[in-house]
Chain A
Amino acid sequence: LSEDQLGEKIDRCFADSLLKISGGVAIGIVASVAFFKGRAFPIWLGSGIGIGAGWSNCRHDLNAPFLVHGKKVPAGTDPQGRPVYTIVTDKK
């Protein structure tokens, strides 16, 4: 339903941002430990990158009303032999 899409987008946004941030933080920690002798800046850098990536993804998701979210499922092949995929939307 169209009225739920914004909420879903925001949820995705938050989830994605969280993942991005946590991933950035993790990479930052690893880099800090591995390469930068326990300094804090890679962590901040990683979290910043994560926040930025999440923000950017959020923005794109919010501004793309026609983007269909779901699973990409193969559905046969085209005449040239290449596989054809369809997107199966998530049913609630």
Chain B
Amino acid sequence: CVSSSLDFPKKTYDVWSSSNAPSTYDSTSSAVLDKFWTIQQVKLSHFSLKSRFIVRVGRFVAVTLGGIGAVSAAGVYFLDIPIGESIDSVLPKGWQIFHKASPAIERKHVILPLEPRLLKPLADLAAADSKKEDECKLAEHKEETPATPVSVSNKPIRTPTLEEREESIKAALVSAERRVKTATKAKALSMDAIDEHIKTLRNAIQGGLSGDWESVRNANERVGNCRAEDKAEENDARNYIDMLKGILKESSPHLNGHPIIRSALKSAAKLEKELDEMAYSIKMVESEQIFALEYADLVQCARGRFAEELKAVLPAFDWDGETKMKKAQLNALLAHAHLRLDQLRREVIESRMREESRLECALKAEMAKRDKVMEGEKKMSEENEAGLLRRLKKVEEEHAKRLDQMVRAHRELSKIEKEQEVKEAITVERKMHSRKLAMAQSKVDGMEEALKRRIVLDAENRRSKHTWLACHNLMESIEYGRKGGKTMEKRKKPVGEELQKLLEVSEGDSFVSTLVGTVPQRAKREGEFTRDDIDSRFEKVYLVARRVSFVPESGSTIWGRIASWIRSTFTLSFPLKETDRVDWMSTDNILLLDTARSLVKKKKYLEAAKVCELLKGEAKDVASSWSSSVRSLEESLFLVRLLTAHSALQSVRSTY
């Protein structure tokens, strides 16, 4: 509205000068227009001032409200935690940068989602890799900077538990085994290198000057490297074994008699033995190496000796390796060679014999030493055996004593337990017996009570049967009346006597006495019409009521009655079906009488009486007596049926 008013086209006319009006306008019309525009301008000017004020005020209010809203939203967001969290969940992830950019604003209980980090797979700890790691560790150890001092905490040292000690023993054992394996492998490599060296050396020596001495040098270098490595490995392995032994020594007082200690000690001894065997094997191989190294000198000596002997046998011959020998020279050389061979053989035999004798002496000495050692061991073993036997005897005696004590204690315990069991069994049996006795007692009491009641029930049953007979008698009296009566009135039998008899028979039964009291006095004094009489009466009622069915309640003249008679004669009655729907309140008397007749034929007297109650006019008066007789009869019969049912029930109730 404000903008539209502002956009309102302004006329250029001045407020007070109408002379500026265009000449095309008429003076009067221009004056009017002028006035109009002046008024509009005044209005506009007023309006613009107002609108401007309003706009200004509006702007101020809007800005103020906006500022307040923003501040409150920020405050709610940052301080009100639930709303802030919900906003965090809704806003995009970029908003979270704001949190990172504004560390000054502390958000309580705000947990930003963590970015999942992929974990790198763990390094494979194979034996070959461990060797490299150890080499690296050795290299790093050299370059290691001095260790920084570790601050000792004042917290109390917690003694490790038995499980922790076991775990530490197992870990030490596993690491020691691993180290020994590594050392064994290194020693195997060293042995291979030494064998290789010996082989190459022999080949080079046999090759002479043209031998491959480069390979010998390389093999020698390799031997050196392998030996250094295997020594380092051996030291490591021994250190680990020592560490294991230290742990076992420390843990043995705590794990007294634990099988892990024994097995760990055996394992440590086995590992040490393995290392020693490998070291011995290396020594043996090294001795061969030494022998191989001396081989060259021996070969050289042998060659020199051969040259000397050759000179001694053939001083004139100068063999340079290429000159051919003469036959005589060769024979002489051969003879010398044979002689030398015999000599060497003799020397070999002599040395062999010397060696054998030396061996025999050494063997004998060894045997003597062994016999001594064995004797000493035997003595020790005998002493140990005797000591063991003594200890065994002691232990057996102690064991026998303990067994006796245990057996006695067990016997006592079992005796006590058995006595307890016997007591409990006796108690249970007593309870059961008393319960059974109580049950039997209650049964006997019940039987006594039942027998007592039997007599009462018998009397009750007899009485109920008499009552039932009296009720049937009463029913017959009411239904059939005096069978010898010639008229309806004579056939009516007063039931006073029967009721009296009934009261006598059912003495003390309040139900019977109450019902007998409700029987109408008329029935007691005069009796009721019989069913047959009711039927015959209805025929008359039907005829008479049909004749007067068109006579209203207010009566009619004689001519009206005659007309009703004639009309009823010519009125036909159509039978009703059970499925026909009839409005009984608005039907005519003819239909009602026909319905009542059909009901009477079906022996539904009460229903017929109800239908007769719906009759109108004179017909109702005609049928009134019959309806009341039917009602009275049905009432009496109903009471008698009730009494009969009561007596039957009493009879059933008193049956056992």
Contacts and interface: CB of A to CB of B under 8 A. Distances in A.
A92 B558 CA distance: 27
B626 A3 contact: yes
B543 to A, nearest CB: 9
B561 A62 contact: yes
A1 B529 CA distance: 12
Interface stretch (B124-132, B239-247, B356-364, B616-624): B616-624
B621 A2 contact: yes
A43 interface: no
B622 A2 contact: yes
B540 interface: yes
Contacts of A5: 621-622
A17 to B, nearest CB: 11
A6 to B, nearest CB: 6
Interface string B533-548: 0000100110011001
A2 B558 contact: no
Interface string B514-548: 00000000000000000000000100110011001
A72 interface: no
Contacts of A92: 489
B558 A58 contact: yes
Contacts of B537: 1, 3
A2 B624 contact: yes
A6 B557 contact: no
A3 B557 contact: no
Interface in B559-592: 561
A63 interface: yes
A44 interface: no
A2 B618 CA distance: 10
B558 A6 contact: no
Interface in B401-417: none
B625 interface: yes
Interface string A1-23: 11111110000000000000000
B473 interface: no
Which one of A1, A5, A7, A62 has the greatest number of beta carbons of chain B within 10 Å? A1
Interface string B610-653: 00000000100111111000000000000000000000000000
A30 B17 CA distance: 141
A63 B626 CA distance: 20
A20 to B, nearest CB: 15
B324 to A, nearest CB: 189
A3 B625 contact: yes
A47 to B, nearest CB: 18
A1 B489 CA distance: 11
A55 B558 contact: yes
A9 to B, nearest CB: 10
A23 B545 CA distance: 34
A2 to B, nearest CB: 3
B556 A3 contact: no
10 contacts: A1-B625, A2-B624, A2-B625, A3-B537, A3-B541, A3-B544, A3-B545, A3-B623, A6-B618, A59-B558
Given A1-B625, A2-B623, A2-B624, 20 more contacts: A1-B626, A2-B621, A2-B622, A2-B625, A3-B537, A3-B540, A3-B541, A3-B545, A3-B622, A3-B623, A4-B540, A5-B621, A6-B544, A6-B618, A55-B558, A58-B558, A59-B558, A62-B558, A63-B556, A65-B621
